[in-house]
Amino acid sequence: MSSPFGFWTRAPQSRRVLLFASATHVWSDLFFALYAPLLPLIKDDLDLTFTQAAMLKSLYVAASAVLQVPMGFMADRVGEFWLLVGGNVWVALGLVAMALAPSFGALLAFTLLGGLGGGTQHPLASGMVSRAYDSKARATAVGIVNFAGDLGKMAAPATALIVAVTYDWRGAMLITGIAATAFFLTSVLIRRSVEIGTPGPVGSEQPGEGGFRGASTGFKILSVVGFIDSAIRAAALTFVPFILAYRGVGESEVFVMLILLLAGGAFGKYACGWFSERHGLISIVWVTKASAALLLAATVFAPMAAIAPLMVLLGVGLNGTSSSLYATVAIFASQARRSRMYGFFYTTNEIGGFIAPLAFGRLADAFSIGAAMVLMGLSTLFVLPVSLALRPHLRASPAN
Has residue 361 been placed in a domain?
yes
Decide if 147 contacts 29 (C-beta within 8 A): no
| Rounded CA separation 73/91 (Å) | 20
Coil/strand/helix, residue 47: coil
> Would the CA dihedral through 176, 178, 179, 180 be positive or negative?
positive
Has residue 330 been placed in a domain?
yes
DSSP assignments along 106-152, one per residue: HHHHHHHHHHGGGGGHHHHHHHHHHHHTSSS-HHHHHHHHHHHHHHH
Nearest Cα neighbor of 58 from 346, 319, 358, 318 is 358
| Rounded CA separation 263/315 (Å) | 7
Coil/strand/helix, residue 382: coil
Give the number of domains in the chain: 1
**Whether the model pTM is above 0.75:** no
Nearest Cα neighbor of 316 from 270, 381, 274 is 270
Nearest Cα neighbor of 348 from 215, 212, 211, 219 is 219
CATH number, domain with residue 233: 1.20.1250.20
Q: Give residues with Cβ within 8 angstroms of 90, minimum separation 6.
A: 114, 116, 117
Has residue 1 been placed in a domain?
no
| Rounded CA separation 312/58 (Å) | 24
Has residue 398 been placed in a domain?
no
| Rounded CA separation 289/319 (Å) | 9
Has residue 399 been placed in a domain?
no
334 residue type, one letter: S
| pLDDT on residue 3 | 46
Burial environment of residue 213 by CB neighbours within 10 A (0 to 12, 13 to 18, 19 or more): exposed
Tell me the pLDDT of the chain (400 aa) as tens digits.
444 455 555 666 678 888 888 899 999 989 988 888 888 889 889 998 888 888 898 888 888 878 877 877 777 777 788 888 899 999 999 999 999 999 999 999 999 999 998 878 877 877 778 777 765 666 677 767 877 887 888 888 888 888 888 889 999 999 999 999 999 999 888 877 777 666 555 444 443 344 444 457 888 888 899 899 989 998 998 899 999 989 888 878 888 898 899 888 878 877 776 676 666 778 888 889 999 999 999 999 999 989 999 999 999 888 888 777 877 777 776 666 666 777 788 788 888 888 898 899 899 999 999 999 999 999 999 989 988 888 877 754 444 4
Q: Give residues with Cβ within 8 angstroms of 271, minimum separation 6.
A: 316, 320
Has residue 3 been placed in a domain?
no
DSSP assignments along 267-286, one per residue: HHHHHHHHHHHHH-HHHHHH
Has residue 400 been placed in a domain?
no
DSSP, res 225: H
| pLDDT on residue 227 | 92
Segments forming the whole domain that contains residue 195: 11-393
Decide if 292 contacts 317 (C-beta within 8 A): yes
